[in-house]
Amino acid sequence: MMRTSSRRQAGLSIIELMIALLLGLLLMGGVIQIFLSSRQTYQTNTALSQVQESGRFALEFIAFDLRNAGYRGECLSKLNDLTPTSLTSGNDDRYVLGSGLKGWNDSSPGTLPDWLDTTYNARTSGTDVILLKHAANPVVKALPDNAAATNGSLTTGTTDSGARKGDLIIVADPVACDFFINQSDTGKSVSLKEGLNFSRAYNKTAQALNYQSTLYYLKNDTTTGVPSLWRTRYTSNAGSTPVEIAEELVSGIQDLQFQYALGNANGQITGNYLDANDSSLTNNWQSVVSVRINLLAVSRQKNAITPDQTVPFMGSNRTIDDGRLAQVFTLTVGIRNHLP
């Protein structure tokens, strides 16, 4: 009788091992590819959210002040300026309501006022600057029934309104409006410097509003490597001295350009949109009825897309470095207080 001997498996052959390794590498390669693809999609979506958020916020900040440029309450007459010459010396139009806006082009801005020179030269090269002024944020929306109006003081209520000495205030009703530096620190009244008088005895139909003067511009951000939208607010102190407050608003705004449209007596646009250095705008800012905001927003995150993106902006193609995602935003705003 023959015995059948069984052989025990001693291990894998080299060929089997190589096949197993190859299959493992293929599976790992697939997993890595899925991971990298998901990571790239996440980076792109994050960058897109950043760009859209930055562009939207930047437009909202600027558009609000543009729509209100030149606003002085319900006043239908000429603004009575009672501010001291220390604020307006040297043709300093930050503290002159006037037309409510003025722009400077990215090139050939002309002679810059002394107050703007430093900020303009420190801005992101090749970008525009705009100054917007209006009455806003009422100290009180309507004066109380017991408003005590004197020649130089006006009661704003029985509770603290927040108005302080040195604040720039516009008091206005349909008949008249006065612009002055508040000398009262009680928060329950606003008053003029001794020796000055309001143009009329205001009553409860009047409003007391804060004066807002703001410069918008871009400034390079050393942290992210791209510019940010900045604004500088111009106020005063109790000594009637100009005060500047600079604030960074939105990061990731690479370019900012403004174009202006003039209107006729009926408020209809005449001609094309103009750059700020156009001769038609010289001493004619009151005739501007519409402003077009053009801005280029980019992601703070690098390597969001490959290859580098090219986008059309203001008639030319712009290549965005470092794989950042970019989007162009354009908004046209009517100047309400320049319309008939």
pLDDT, one tens digit per residue, over 81-96 is 998 888 877 678 899 9
- Report the pLDDT value the prediction gives residue 147, as an integer from 0 to 100: 56
- Report the pLDDT value the prediction gives residue 145, as an integer from 0 to 100: 63
- CA-nearest of 328, 339, 340, 336 to 71 is 336
* Helix ranges (DSSP H) in the chain: 14-67, 85-88, 114-122
Average pLDDT of the residues of the chain:
86
- Report the pLDDT value the prediction gives residue 142, as an integer from 0 to 100: 60
Between 146 and 129, the higher pLDDT residue:
129
d(CA 265, CA 325): 44
- Report the pLDDT value the prediction gives residue 144, as an integer from 0 to 100: 65
- Report the pLDDT value the prediction gives residue 195, as an integer from 0 to 100: 86
Indicate whether 11 pLDDT > 70: no
Lowest mean pLDDT among 119-128, 203-212, 307-316: 203-212
Indicate whether 8 pLDDT > 90: no
- Report the pLDDT value the prediction gives residue 6, as an integer from 0 to 100: 55
d(CA 16, CA 22): 10
- Report the pLDDT value the prediction gives residue 50, as an integer from 0 to 100: 87
- Report the pLDDT value the prediction gives residue 121, as an integer from 0 to 100: 92
Mean pLDDT of 66-94: 87
Q: Please state the separation of Cα 10 from the chain's center in Å.
A: 76
- Report the pLDDT value the prediction gives residue 107, as an integer from 0 to 100: 83
Between 291 and 221, the higher pLDDT residue:
291
Q: Domains of the chain: which residue ranges? A: 48-338
d(CA 321, CA 162): 47
